[in-house]
Amino acid sequence: MDGPEPPASVSEPTGALAAAEPVTEPATGDKIMKKRSSVHAAAISPLPSALVSHTGRRRKFKQSEIVTSSPMKLILKSKASKQEETDKFTGKRYMLLDDTLKREFMVHMNDELGDFQRTITESKQHVNDMREQEDIEARRCNVVLYRVPESSAILSEDRRKEDITFCQQFFHGFNVGFTPEDMKNAYRLGARQVGEDVGTRPRPILVQFASRHIKNLIMESLYKIKSLAMKFKNIVVAHDLTKKQKLECKELVTQAKLNIRDFPLAC
């Protein structure tokens, strides 16, 4: 009895057929996963560079078309003109505001400067008034004698002694209780004349008393000069005035002369 016949052996391809048809092995789990990952990577791979560049050119082309179209040009030009007008208007407003602020600043500074100048003037006037008052107080005990003959002595000390002796004799003649101690000092005012002019216009003598009391007694007794010795009759006695007081007295005398000329006294 014959057994089953063995399967017919598959003949192996030979030559070109063997190279064209490779033998595929059965797929395993690792091979399947690698295949899936390669398919996924191919799905998410970027587009080709040629396609990308073509798409970018198309997009730029569309934007250039929008910008260079006539309606868009008008809109952009209108916006630019409006912006320029707005800038001009804003600039004018800034200029006007700047001019206004400058004027206000100058007015404020002028006011401040005027107040400052007035303050300085008032301060100077106050200082001058204080100095004037101090000068007046320092002169209250003084008198000035005019027309007192000058000594012809060579030495200034001798001339000064003669002037002091003359003043003491003059004040004794009023009989008001004058003593040499009541006169603190006496000296000539101004520079001494030299040559032929000596004695023609004697310089005044400033006399400083020790107290206002003795000065007032002598000033109240000046009417007695006419009864004194001949060398004293031409003497003129006056208060020691400041420059301001002298100017005021001069103005008063001038005004009095004008009043007398305009309104003469009836005979």
DSSP-derived secondary structure for 17-63: HHHHSPPPPPP-HHHHHHHHHHHHHHHHSPPPHHHHHHHHHHHHHHH
The pTM assigned to this predicted structure is 0.54
Domain ranges within the chain, ordered by starting residue: 142-240
pLDDT digits (tens, 9 = 90+) for 105-122: 778 788 888 888 888 888
**Residue whose tokens read 């996924």:** 40
Q: What is the pLDDT of residue 8?
A: 47
Amino acid symbol at 121: T
Exposure b/e, 72-99, CB count within 10 A at least 16 = b: eeeeeeeeeeeeeeeeeeeeeeeeeeee
106: number of CA atoms within 13 Å, CB side? 6
Q: Are the C-beta atoms of 136 and 245 separated by less than 8 Å?
A: yes
54: confidence class by pLDDT, cuts 50, 70, 90: very low
Mean pLDDT, rounded, for 209-221: 94
Backbone phi and psi for residue 238, each to the nearest 5 degrees, phi listed first = -140, 160
Lowest mean pLDDT among 66-75, 120-129, 178-187, 196-205: 66-75
Q: Which homologous superfamily is 142-240 in?
A: L1 transposable element, RRM domain (3.30.70.1820)
Residues in the chain: 267
- Where is pLDDT greater, at 7 or 83? 83
